[in-house]
Amino acid sequence: MDFNSLGAGSPFYILTKREGQKPILEVGTVKEKVLQQPQYQFQAVPNALNGMGPQPQMVRIVVNVDGSDRVIPDVPVNVEIAAKGNSTYTGSTQAMMQAVDAMMQTSKAEIEREAYNKMVLAEGERMMETLNPRYADEKQRDRAIKSLEARQTETDKKLDTILSRLDEFFSPKKG
């Protein structure tokens, strides 16, 4: 269903994705749709005669989402789904499901790449240690320091336990 087919009361979906934030899907209903006059100006839209053509007809849609009106300006009338900035708009449940699925597939691919990149970093570290003795010495020193810090933390915990037990043993009993 293209945007031209939407009428008052039609469902409308808005998917917003921002870097570092969780995606948000808002579901509303079309309150108003206003066709805007096309502007005939030169642009990079191919035309069979001269290679240039008119700007596609646009629509401005007012959507009610959770009791609040949102204006979605300049949406091409002859498409089913449109994206502008961080948001994707459609009146089609199926089109929004495809957009959400595409978003999920992109994230799955990134997760798979993360495992590969961690492996590459680990192997790269080993290669650098093989190629550069000074680098290997620095890494060995770093590992030794981390090991000593871990042992010290464990020793501190044991000492705290011993001191608290001694304190309980030697403190005067009440009652």
pLDDT along the chain (175 residues), means of 10: 89 94 96 77 50 72 95 91 94 96 94 93 93 92 95 95 90 71
Q: Which residues contact 25 (CB under 8 A, 6 or more apart)?
A: 13, 14, 15, 96, 100
- Rounded Cα gap, residues 130 and 118, in angstroms: 19
Residue 16 CA to residue 84 CA, distance in Å, equals 10
What is the predicted pLDDT for the residue at 170?
86
Task: Note the pLDDT of residue 37.
Answer: 66
pLDDT tens digits for range 114-155: 999 999 999 999 999 999 999 999 999 999 999 999 999 999
Q: What local confidence, expressed as pLDDT, does residue 21 receive?
A: 93
Each domain of the chain, given as residue ranges in start order, spans: 3-38+51-105, 110-170
Tell me, what's the pLDDT at 42?
42
Q: Which of 78, 98, 67 is nearest to 88 (CA)?
A: 98
Order of strands, sheet of 68-76, starting from the edge strand that comes earlier in the sequence: 68-76, 58-65, 24-36, 11-16, 87-90, 81-84
